[in-house]
Structure 1
Amino acid sequence: MQAQDLLRQTDKLPNVPDVVRELIQLLSDPDVNYSELTEKVSHDQTISLKVLRVVNSAYFGLSRKISSIDEATVLLGTDKLKTLVIASGFASSVSKVEGLKLPEFWADSFRVAELAQWLAKRTPLVQADEAFTVGIVHNIGRLLLHLTEPTIAQEIQELVANRKAGRVKAEQDLLGFTSQDAGKALMDLWKFPAGLGLAVQLHKRPFANEEPNPLACVLNLACYLNACIRAEREYDLVREGFPMAVAKAAGLNEGVVYELDDALMIGDGLNQLI
């Protein structure tokens, strides 16, 4: 089997709204026309309602109720609006997946995205909005696998749960490729910027190529911190285990380990989008 085989089951692929795809494709364009983009967002009722619900929540703590996407853009700025639109768009892409608890899956993805963004703001080598986006989709290949091959996905889950294999090895043995490969294939199909798909593909092994990929390194570190949060690991152990070689390749300075207590406070603020 190859990753492309999963994509042929077109009726089972996640349904990401056009406005989200367009936004991600335009991430690298500093001259994007945001007024046109916000107009498109306002025409997608599902996303608009979710965005406005979060904008009016305690997460943003605004002093008055916001009733339109235009108002949200003015008060939050386009960067935060992009964050909300991308997160809500992916959270709405599927309604039920065999073998996955979607609220947990997206909560995990959102926190990795926020951690990746936090790290990206501390290195000149990575754009914060790109880091957020790859965080949201870093596990999209696993979602795709559960949608298209639920039986094999369950076998992999059991191997990992019973400690008979790590996830990467289990996927290689049963599929011949990894869910990261599948994620990149899906992002290529969606015509996302190539650098985002590559980062998703490499984040489990950021030194696989001769030159480390800084975005993949940031995503690798975000996943490490997320695992520490989930395990409620003590701060000293988090700092001790922090992969400094990956951090260096991401362009982070050594002092970042003394800021990790701030990163560990990142919670589930975007969960209202689920």
Structure 2
Amino acid sequence: MQVQDLLKQTDKLPNVPDVVRELIQLLNDSNAKYSDIAERVSHDQTISLKVLRVVNSAYFGLSRKISSIDEATVLLGIDKLKTLVIASGFSNSVTSVEGIKLSEFWADSFRVAELAQWIAKRTSLVEAEEAFTVGIVHNIGRLLLHLTEPKIAKEIQVLVANRKAGRVKAEKDLLGFTSQDAGKALMDLWKFPVGLGDAIQHHKRPFDNDEPKPLACVLNLACYLNACIRNDRDYDLVREGFPMAVAKAAGLPEGIVYELDDALMIGDELNQLLH
């Protein structure tokens, strides 16, 4: 099987709103007119309502109720608005997936995104918005696999659950490629920035390349911290296991290990977008 065999099943691909695609394509465009984007967001009622609900939540602690996307942009800034729109757009891109509980899948992706953003703010090599976006979509290849080949996806899940194989080996044995490869192919199909697809494809093993990409390293670290949170790992063990070689390649200072307790406190405020 080839990755393209999944992409040919166009009726089964996630349906990402146009405004979200535009935002991601404009991530690195300093000349982008974000007033136009805010106007487009306003016209997508589903996304607008979800974003405004989060903006008006206790998390932001605003002194008055915000009733429009324009107001939200002024108060929060376009960068925060973009992250909310991208998170909302992807979490609504599919309604049901065989073998995946979507609320858990997206909650996990949201946390990886926030962790990636937190890490990126501590290095000059990666933009925080780009890190957030790649966190949201880092597992999109697995979603694609379950949408297009649910039987094979279930076989892989069983092998991993029964500890017969790690996920990468199971995917290569049954598919001939990994879900990270599938994720990159989907990013390329959607014409998203090349760096996003590369980071998705290489984040599990960032040193497989001669020159590890900082964004892939940031995503690797975010996934590590997310696993620590999910497994309620003791803080000392989190620090001991923190992959410093990856952190160095991401451009992070050595003292980052003493800030990890802040990262482990990242909450789940974005989960409001799932309701």
Relative to the length of structure 1, the TM-score reads 0.99
Shift of 1:235: 0.5
State the alpha-carbon separation in 2 of the partners of residues 144 and 263 from structure 1: 29
The residue number in structure 2 matching 1:73 is: 73
The residue number in structure 2 matching 1:96 is: 96
Shift of 1:109: 0.1
The residue number in structure 2 matching 1:33 is: 33
Q: Is 1:164 aligned to residue 182 of structure 2?
A: no
* Structure 2: tracts of 5 or more residues without a match: none
The residue number in structure 1 matching 2:232 is: 232
Alignment RMSD? 0.5
SS at match of 1:70: helix
SS at match of 1:220: helix
* Residues 122-141 of structure 1 aligned to structure 2 (within 5 Å): 122-141=122-141
Amino acid corresponding to residue 227 of structure 1 in structure 2: A
* Residues 228-267 of structure 1 aligned to structure 2 (within 5 Å): 228-267=228-267
The residue number in structure 1 matching 2:220 is: 220
Shift of 1:31: 2.1
The residue number in structure 2 matching 1:47 is: 47
Shift of 1:30: 1.6
Amino acid corresponding to residue 38 of structure 2 in structure 1: T
Q: Is 1:187 aligned to residue 187 of structure 2?
A: yes
Shift of 1:108: 0.2
Shift of 1:32: 1.1
Shift of 1:59: 1.6
- CA-to-partner distance for each residue in 1:37-88, whole Å, 9 max, x for gaps? 1000000111001100110111211111100000000000011000000000
Relative to the length of structure 2, the TM-score reads 0.99
Q: State percent identity of aligned pairs.
A: 85
The residue number in structure 1 matching 2:7 is: 7
State the alpha-carbon separation in 2 of the partners of residues 267 and 161 from structure 1: 27
